[in-house]
Amino acid sequence: MVRPREFDRDEALDRAMRVFWSKGYSATSTDDLLAAMEIGRQSLYNAFGDKRKLYLEALDRYQQHSISAHVERLTRGASALAGIKAMLLGVIAADAAERANGCMGVNSAAEFGAGDADVVAIRSAGAKRLKQHLLARIEQAQREGEIDPRMDAEEVALFIGSTMQSIQLNARGGMTPAALRRLAKFAVERLVVRS
């Protein structure tokens, strides 16, 4: 009896995630996944189930990593507003190929809309986690006089989240890094207290 080939499941999942991130769910074939993951068809099914289950696990992994990176940038800033700016600038990947991929979460929203409850649940969980940290920083910036306290913190969070998505979509569409940075800077300047 032939033993199945041993492989690193986490590494294979990361490779699958990169394929889905670049191509989306529908445009990714099982053969694309097998080639990228360097595993056989039966190993894919045994370890991950089917293509859909693999996609959901890859999307969840991407969201976990992405949201953690956003929160880290948001909370490390010298001030609350600096953290918000760092988070927005941080979504602009230095690597051109990664920048061209945009955001897997945003890409999933474009591909599935609200029509797939499992995909929506993964995105919603990530958005909820990020929003908690973002609201805390917005409220801190309002207390410290960096963001206009007359602005509704929930609306500010919605604006920042929409700006992040806009940056990621524009990056995927080929906007230059310099233009993306101008977009982030413009958004942050809209929040500053005006005399």
| Residue 145 burial class via C-beta count within 10 angstroms: exposed 0-12, middle 13-18, buried 19 and up | exposed
Residues of the chain with pLDDT under 50: 1-3
Domains of the chain, CATH where assigned: 60-189 (1.10.357.10)
Closest CA to 44 of 61, 31, 63: 31
What 3-state DSSP class applies to 112?
A: helix
* Residue 2: per-residue pLDDT: 45
Picking from 157, 158, 159, 143, the residue whose alpha carbon sits closest to that of residue 193 is 143
Q: What angle do CA 22, 120, 177 make, to 5 degrees?
A: 40
pLDDT at residue 194 in the model: 75
pLDDT tens by residue, 106-145: 999 999 999 999 999 999 999 999 999 999 999 999 999 9
Supply the pLDDT for residue 5.
53
Q: Tell me the Cα Rg of the chain.
A: 19
CA dihedral 81, 69, 178, 139 (to 10 degrees): -20
Please list, in sequence order, all residues whose beta carbon lies within 8 angstroms of the beta carbon of residue 140, skipping any fewer than 6 positions away: 80
pLDDT number for residue 36: 97
Q: Residue 1: what pLDDT?
A: 46
Residue type, 75: T
SS3 per residue for 139-183? HHHHHCCCECCCCCHHHHHHHHHHHHHHHHHHHHCCCCHHHHHHH
